[in-house]
Amino acid sequence: MPAVMKIRKVGGSLGIIIPKDEIERMHLKEGDELFGLPDDDGLRLQVRDPSFERKLKAFENTRRQFRNALHELAK
36: domain CATH number is: 2.10.260
Give CA–CA dist 68/75, Å, rounded.
Answer: 11
The dihedral formed by the CA atoms of 75, 65, 53 and 41, expressed in degrees to the nearest 10: 170
Residue 25 lies in a domain: yes
Q: Which domain holds residue 59?
A: 6-74
Chain segment 15-60, per-residue pLDDT in tens: 999 999 999 988 899 988 888 888 898 888 888 776 777 888 888 8
What is the signed CA dihedral for 16, 38, 28, 20, rounded to 10 degrees?
A: 50
Q: How many domains does the chain have?
A: 1
Nearest CA-CA partner of 36 in 62, 55, 16, 19: 16
What pTM was estimated for this model as a whole?
0.55
Q: Classify residue 23: in a domain, yes or no.
A: yes
pLDDT bracket for residue 9 (50, 70, 90)? very high
Query: Cα-Cα-Cα-Cα dihedral of 48, 55, 37, 11, to 10°?
Result: 60
* Residues contacting 32, CB < 8 A, separation 6+: 47
Among the ranges given (7-11, 12-16, 50-54, 66-70), the one the predictor scored with the smallest mean pLDDT: 50-54
Region 6-15 average pLDDT: 94
